[in-house]
Amino acid sequence: MIDVRNLSVAFGRGAQRREVVKSVSFAVAKGKTLGIVGESGCGKSTVLRSLAGLDRHWQGEIQLAGQNVGQERTRAELMLAQMVFQDPYGSIHPRHRIERVLAEPIRAMGKGTGFELVGQALQQVGLPAAFGERFPHQLSGGQRQRVAIARALMLEPQILLLDEPTSALDVSVQAEVLNLLCDLREERALTYVLVSHDLAVIAHMCDRVLVMQNGAFVDELTRTELERGITHHPYSRLLFQSALLWEKPHNAGSIEALS
């Protein structure tokens, strides 16, 4: 479903030029979830933005659903992959009713008004159809992120790109949103690429994990290896140990909540 070869992304020119993604390659099979982990600023989100067509600075080759896509995308190519962003408070227009937020992708792609699909879209993410009349400030963080997921699914993409989709939510709400994403993946045979700092989230969601450092992938782990704490690179080991130290005092029981 996703085949990326020698993807590089650089910003700036001359002495200011900075390469943030350095010739990375990976593939994701249909219906599978690939996780990408690494410290802030290592290039994870830039990879997602390149896949989504939001960033046009990339070089290399990107293939989605068997189609080669370029820096400039057609509407049909843009509909292959949609993105769910980290902050549910910042990714939805605060002055638009939820029905307008959800209908916007349909209208933007010239596929109709979209309003007739809003009620069903909300129900598919566990929200009442009546929420279409509300404004974002009338919803909780978890409800807003469900709306963001519903918006990403309006165009019926085959691929969802998830950029820290639960990091701004409370632990109990994180579990609900992640379980929703798992259910949607099974129901729609979706393919996910998930960026997260939370190894509990990665272990719960992902079949395979790539560890990123300074714009390059330095390790690849299976779910079993991640659950057992098995790593193949010093940076992966440091990342894993740091995550364990953080999880114990702050997110105790988070893995259990996801089961």
Is residue 239 domain-shared with residue 163, that is, in the same domain? Answer: no
Tell whether the model's pLDDT for residue 58 goes beyond 90. yes
Helix axes 141-153, 98-108, angle to 10 degrees: 20
Q: Is residue 36 part of a domain?
A: no
When divided into structural domains, the chain yields a total of: 3
- What is the pLDDT, as a whole number, of residue 194? 97
CATH of the domain at 180: 3.40.50.300
Same domain assignment for residues 213 and 176? no
**Rounded mean pLDDT of 124-131?**
96
258-to-99, 160, 202, 239 alpha-carbon distances in Å = 30, 20, 11, 21
Q: What is the pLDDT of residue 171?
A: 82
Does the pLDDT of residue 256 top 50, yes or no? no
- Percent of the chain at pLDDT above 70? 94
Q: Is the pLDDT of residue 247 over 70?
A: no
Same domain? For 85 and 152 the reply is: yes
pLDDT of residue 200 exceeding 50: yes
Percent of the chain surpassing pLDDT 90: 74
Res 189 pLDDT > 80: yes
Indicate whether 246 pLDDT > 80: no
Can you give the residue range of the structural domain that contains 223? 197-245+254-259
Q: What does the block give as tokens for 146?
A: 């469900």
Same domain flag for 186 and 209: no
**Of all residues in the chain, what percent are helix, strand and coil, respectively (each to 5)?**
40, 25, 35
Does residue 259 share a domain with residue 157? Answer: no
* 14 and 113 fall within a common domain: no
Task: Mark whether 93 and 115 lie in a shared domain.
Answer: yes
Residue ending a domain, among 150, 167, 192, is: 192
pLDDT of residue 24: 97
Residue 30 in any domain: the answer is: no
Q: So what's the pLDDT on residue 244?
A: 66
pLDDT in tens, 12-22: 888 889 999 99
Q: Is residue 29 part of a domain?
A: no
Mean pLDDT of 177-206: 92
Note the pLDDT tens digit of each residue in 89-101: 888 999 999 999 9
Do 225 and 169 fall into the same domain? no
End-to-end CA distance of the chain: 27
Residue 74 resides in a domain? no
Query: Do 170 and 217 reside in the same domain of the chain?
Result: no
Within a domain: 31: no
DSSP states along 82-128 = EEE-S-TTTSS-TTS-HHHHHHHHHHHTTS---GGGHHHHHHHTT--
Does a structural domain hold residue 134? yes
Is residue 243 pLDDT above 80, yes or no? no
- For residue 248, the model assigns a pLDDT of 47
Q: Give me 44's structure tokens.
A: 């994870």
Q: Which of 192, 216, 236 is the last residue of a domain?
A: 192
Same domain? 129 vs 224: no
Torsion region of 12: left, alpha or beta (phi above 0 gives left; psi -120 to 50 gives alpha): left
- At 229, is the pLDDT very low, low, confident or very high (cuts 50, 70, 90)? confident
Between the alpha carbon of residue 108 and those of residues 76, 113, 251, the distances in Å are: 12, 9, 40
Does 128 fall in a domain? yes
Instruction: Inform me whether the pLDDT recorded for 253 exceeds 60.
Output: no
User: Does 236 lie in the same domain as 205?
Assistant: yes
**Mean per-residue pLDDT of the chain:** 90
95 inside domain: yes
Q: Where is the domain boundary, 176, 192, 208?
A: 192
